Chain A
Amino acid sequence: MSDHFIDPFIAQLPALQILIPLLAAPLCVILHHRRTAWVLAMIASYCSLAIALLLLQQTSDGTVISYAMGNWAPPWGIEYRIDILSAFVLVIVSMVSSITLPYALRSLEKEVYDNKLYLLYAGWLVVLTGLLGMTITGDAFNVFVFLEISSLASYLIIALNRDRRALTAAFQYLLLGTVGASFILLGIGLLYQMTGTLNMADLAQRLPLVSHASGVRTAFAFLIVGLGIKAAIFPMHSWLAGAYRFAPSAVTVFLAGSATKVSIYLLLRFIYSIYGSELAFEQLHLSSILLPLALLSIVIPSMVAINQKSFKRLLAFSSISQIGYMVLGIAINNQAALSATILHLFNHAIIKAALFMSMGAVFYQISGHRIKSLAGLGHLMPFTFAAFILAGLSLIGVPLTAGFISKWYLVIGALNAGWWPVAALILFSSLLAVAYIWKIVEAAYFKPPLSPNTTGAIKEAPLSMLLPLYLLVTANIYFGLNTQWSVGTASKAAAMLLGGGQ
């Protein structure tokens, strides 16, 4: 059949996953045109999504794809290693990018100077390349290189907002992010020194032989802290609120849906695939370190969110709290809880993207970030706020939404481990989420408008912004009802990790 033509193409998919966005970026710069850059970004993004879906399809039966760069066998060369977990994250990242770009077209026009837009799209593509590269690689140092690629480009796309506070937010992110990446580099160096290799699968084989060495423990500490900074785990989260708040809205949607997920993915990779759950949890007592951090991470940012005056900042703190759930799943360390973490990588992406998109649409109309300015808008922008409410319900974890499924599995995991207080806390935190979501809903529907909308200036958001938003909201409900794909993939991935997977 046509296998003869398709097979070589299929075999090169891992390389193409990165190459397409990578080459699109310089092309955007050369062509130097706003709309063309957007079209290129869209094409590259959708191609990446297609490739990621193909890779997921190939790995869902447990196959592990290995691709040797330069045809040098690992560990002498760099290997791309894709299993069901990596493929899942690849799909999440490329999906968020693909769904946000149509939204970004109108949204960015209001927030970024026209002559910089082509550079923003180029930066966007580089962030996409970096995130995909971090996920797909099987080489520890390669992770660092692509981490810095995505980070540097993120600083750019955050800073391109007209609001001058984006500059300081980007700078703070640059400082903390580079320290985090350097810690990761240090951890990798220590691991190399103890084992003589950089390849992840190889490290997994060699680490048990030297597990008693102080260098291995220190490496672990640096890796966890470094990745924790990038994932914005409390107390290393300080960069996220500023970065998400002051970045252009579409950029916030993109980063909120993808960047921290990849950092959590890397945590999973390092903890389970490289160190192995026995070394990490039994010898190095990871649970006792992660559990308090996770719990604080869930509760404190939620409480801070309730006090926020800016709706964008409120959602940013909500994100930090949701990351806490993912870390909690790791701390509980059983099949159900870990499935919840992996599932929430996907669910949170669709929830948060929808929430930030709806608020971005509001900003598009009113150019303000204060919750007070939302007064009465629920009636003027009915579709936007309806979407917000639905996504908000998903965030809280109301049954029939995607968010409920993640929390369900997390609670089951906690109960299976016998940790009743933790399960109770998860339910309590949902109440906190109700509080901050209600704050916005109350302002939008139950407060009288600030000034009568006589000129009709404030109307519903444009279609190009509403359609992606509703696609996400529909996804939230769909994946709350039909969990076969999402939960199925997450469970298989969790089982693989717990089984000493690669």
Chain B
Amino acid sequence: MKKLFIGILVVLVAAAFYTYWTEPSNESRVPVVYWKSDSNPQRYEQIEMFHRWLVRKGYVTPDGEPMMKLELDAGGNQSSLIQAVSGVGGDAIDAYVSSFQPLGVCLDITDMGKELNFGEKDTYRAIWPMLTSEGRQYAYPCNLGVNTWWGNLDTFRKYGMEAPPKDWNIEEFEKYGVEFVRRANEGKERQDVYFIPSIATTPSIPQMMARGEGVDMYNETLTRATINNPAYIRAFETVLRWTNDLHLAPSAAEVASMSSEGGYGGVNMSQFIAGKFGLVFYGRYCLIRFRESTTKINFFSTLPAMGDYKNVMVIARAAIMYRGSKHPELIKHFFEFLADKEYNDSIIEGADGLPPNPKFAENNPALYRPAAYPNEGDVHQNEFEWARDYGVIPPISPYFRGSSFDTWIKYALDKYFNNRVANAAEALQEAEDRYNESIDTTVAANPLLQEAYQRDVELQRRIDEYKAAGKKIPASWIKNPFYLKYYHDKGMLEETE
């Protein structure tokens, strides 16, 4: 028995050594750097492209080989965060600056960005606040996207309708939706075609509606949530009306009863392909999946219906440079690569969202009208232009910490939709309280935040005074990207103090 145990021990030790020696860092003759991202097949192609790009740019060893080897380390946001605070994060990590920077795990790349052309001028103005903290750059986008309504022209024509207008208000949206649902379900015992998918879990739609009325989830300095207001209440009531009264969208129970569920894109994508939804709330990234389908869909896209102030939510998958990286001098070239032509062209070609550097998108026919996909119409151009012209990042406060920035607004929507457990005002008041309680807890627990918070609270007091007096507000006082853009567009901003 002893011999057997010793034999097993020897095998295990040998296996451990084998595993250690076959690790990429031990096998490679050049330093290995790790990119923590999702396990999308496109990442592997992008890594190969990066190695070729290194050679082309002359970042090579004396033997002419790429000076580093990039390896994908696939993992979720949670594991990335835990590894990062433990000192074993990847060299570059796909992450939100708002979640990672407060932990002190991001390297300041402002100067590198300016030097290697992945700074402020090399990306979209709208996404910049998502990449920075206190005016310093900590990330650069791998790609970005804007969710808007996407439709299948053939589905509409099947019911004798044409594509809706690109820009519409709520009344027009409802009128169009009611007509679509009526025609699509005529003579049926039970409704099985909807204008849009369930919106009970998509808080960005009411959030955009509220922004359309000039109201955001946080105040100008991001120090307080201000959700319980008439604009938000109206937005909540509207989306509930779409579900319960007009039946434009299925209820949660109806979604749970839909036959398809799993797979990339979930129930919405499969139901859309099957013609059960007139519109879906997607960005350009969805084409990765749609292009795999044998069914060729004739796409069109429209802006979300809202009030006077047009806006869309732009969001990026951005990479941060890890503070614990052993190779910051090498990994900076990866960021340079993200802003360069090859990579941006690959994003355009692969439909993996919008390219991070707008100069490769602007008036680029490969993006605006890809020759191989005439059925995709002008959806690409729309998305790029809407991101550029109307894009604002989602409401994110540096003083709030939670599983996600929309945790409690989702909760409020959930509560409001569910058997009307609460009316819109009550649900929003609870969400507002919870955001504010979380802000108080976060600030109280973190002395590093307290000074900045007090400063911002004081600024907010002054902003409120200026607003009450009808005076223009100095731009430098405003931390909320939405209000910065809104006040600018409305001429309410004093650009220089």
| Chains A and B form a bound pair | no
List residues of B whose CB falls within 8 A of some A CB: none
